[in-house]
A and B are shown apart, each in its own frame.
Chain A
Amino acid sequence: MREHDTIFWIIVRRMRTPLIVLIATMAISILGMVLIPGVDSNGKPYHMNFLDAIYFVTYMASTIGFGEIPYEFTYAQRMWVIFSIFIAVIGWFYAIGALVTLVQDKQLLAEINLARFKRKIKDLKEPFIIILGYNNITKTLINKLNGTKRIVVIDKSQEKIEALELENFIPEVYALSANIDNPEILKLAGIKKRNCKALIVLFNNDFKNTKIALLARLLNERIDLVIKSTTKAQSEHLKNLGIKSIIDPFELIGNRFYLALDAPALWLLEMMFYKHPLKVDTIEVLPRGKYIICGYGRMGQALGKALERANLSFSYIDLKSSQYKQTKQSALFGDKQDYKLLEEAGVKEAVAIVAATKDDLINLTILLTAKKLNPNIYTIARENSIEDITIFQSAKIDRNYILEAITSEYVQLIIHTPLARIFLEEVYRQNEAWGERVVRMLKQRVGDEVEIFELKVSKNKAFALHQFLKNDGKVTLKELSKSLEDRNKEAKIAFLLVKNRKEQVTFLPPQNYEVKVSDTFLIAATKEAKEDFELLVNNINEFHYILTGKDLKFGILKFFSKDENE
């Protein structure tokens, strides 16, 4: 109701003067027509009555013009009519003009948009996610997540919201352009609603992210907050706020880089979540030896730390892209001075070079220059924007770390399968021997192509299993991993972790683990086994078969078929 109020008041306030002008001109014209004497058909003087005057002025002012009634006008009357036409017609045009301007009024349009947005949020019954900021990262996120959950986007810039609306996402993505720092806006976006599941904040400004995280925490304690942070200190703050999903793209890349260097099995376990098969291609092996890092900012330091952890030597060139562009007046790396710089860093002996500045063009030219000096060198690039991907592909860079893509894939993963985050944290903590063991187990049970999914033992997600457990049934993981075709065989399925009702996590639960209500499993399986498993836990017949080896008899069949055991 209130939002309609604002629209109404804006219209009323703008229309006040035009309406007064209109009434005044009409009143003056009418009064004049009544007061000025005329002559009737018999030549007798008469005064126009009010009804005739109002009738005449109404059609005259709106330029309809039915003629002079009830009798032909005298010259005195006509003079008054000329004057009336001018003031009344001008009054009408002024009023109509004001109305037209009002329709185009920015403030009014914004209010109308806001009212529409509010109504949509109010009517939204499905679970939804709020994403702040619309850019390359969130765009890919919306593409992947839209449909599984509804999405609400808020961005400061009207242009970006218009661009989003042009994308025509189906189902509709609700978007509003508004200043995000305002807590009212978060409320508008429905953060307090019961079906709001998560808030994703991936701005480049850490301070802004933290501020919004704090606000969101205070407004709603239940929702998942996915917050980007690029420094240790900021991540620490966020952790203290109780936020679990902290996205640090540099830490992510550092971890992945380390695993690729030193722990291929753990690397496989990580990449498995991004649909990478469980085997390492030869191209994917990072060489061991001396590294050079160009650009020693947050990314360079993260990679340096990874190299230290892997006991590899490296030298770095502290190159800042903005500073470089300013002093050299060029966006390309590779003059004589730069050659010297690379040579001093030892480009001839190095096995690999990393270009990790903020500027894609400089990164690219660094690597091309290095290749000129040492054709065998392994090139690793930081690619900042997804849009530049074709340039990097055609430049034959050995490995690209695309910041935006990595961030977006990770956010997608943890929104889709929140348990994956817990498992990945364990992967980063564990040693290579553990990784090898898990990979061997997965290869043996599932194979190279692994699909990861999550399943909660609840009435909606696992009907048959839930019902069985509610009736005091007992079932272990061993039984659940039987094949639907033949229960003496094993399905290609492996349980990665289980989180119980009290949020306690068990990694790689043993085969004799007893399943409880409200357990959530992170499961790796082949595509077929995944479908079978979802059928098994939901379908009473299949579930009965797995437990007993017999098909459940139901309905009238029960009376006709004889079961030797009964």
Chain B
Amino acid sequence: MNTQKIISGFFIIMAMTLNFGFFYGDIDKFSHHSPYELFATIVVNLIATILKLGDKTQLGSVLLATSLVADIQLISAAIVWGIALYVMHDVTNSAQIIVSLSGGALMANIVSVILFIGDTLKSKR
């Protein structure tokens, strides 16, 4: 058992599950998509990204790249939401954009988890 592996595995998978939780639901209904869940997704994603830093291998680099993609999409979603709510004062039209951005991030997170599992299976220790 490897503590490092547990911690990074926890955050990587948690990033995906939270992301899915936020994404799941009707695309244009805000009641299906909690802002708290988006916040948690962003935080867990950021932590997962930092845990992936410092691995110089080929796989480590790709893992880092997927995380960066997810971060960018999720933060964009949060920014869109913030601008729509507080600057434009109209959120009804931006629900699709926010949810689809998080959907993109979900794809990246799924790739990340697959790579992580593949690496774990390959490892002999």
Contact = CB atoms under 8 A, between A and B. Distances in A.
B46 A16 contact: no
Nearest to A27: B43
Interface string B109-125: 00000000000000000
B35 A16 contact: no
Size category of the B interface is 10 to 19
Interface string A1-18: 000010001001101100
Given A9-B54, A12-B54, A50-B35, A23 B86 contact: no
Contact of A16 (B43, B50, B78, B86): B50
Contacts of A50: 35, 39, 78, 82
Interface in A6-43: 9, 12-13, 15-16, 19-20, 23-24, 27, 30-31, 34
Contacts of A31: 36, 39
Given A50-B35, A50-B39, A20 B82 contact: no
Contacts of A34: 36, 39
A327 to B, nearest CB: 58
Size category of the A interface is 10 to 19
B47 interface: yes
B50 A20 contact: yes
A16 B54 CA distance: 8
Contacts of A51: 82, 85-86
A16 B86 CA distance: 34
A480 B56 CA distance: 66
B3 to A, nearest CB: 14
Contacts of B43: 23-24, 27
B51 interface: yes
Interface in B28-48: 35-36, 39, 43, 46-47
Given A30-B39, A51-B86, A19 B56 contact: no
Q: What 6 pairs across the A-B complex have the smallest Cβ distances?
A: A13-B54, A27-B43, A12-B53, A19-B50, A23-B46, A12-B54
19 contacts: A5-B56, A9-B56, A13-B54, A15-B53, A16-B50, A16-B53, A19-B53, A20-B47, A20-B50, A23-B46, A23-B50, A24-B43, A24-B47, A27-B43, A30-B39, A31-B39, A50-B39, A50-B78, A51-B82
Interface of A: 5, 9, 12-13, 15-16, 19-20, 23-24, 27, 30-31, 34, 49-51
Given A9-B54, A31-B36, A50-B78, 17 more contacts: A12-B54, A13-B53, A13-B54, A16-B51, A16-B53, A19-B50, A19-B53, A20-B47, A20-B51, A23-B46, A23-B50, A31-B39, A34-B39, A49-B85, A49-B86, A50-B35, A50-B82
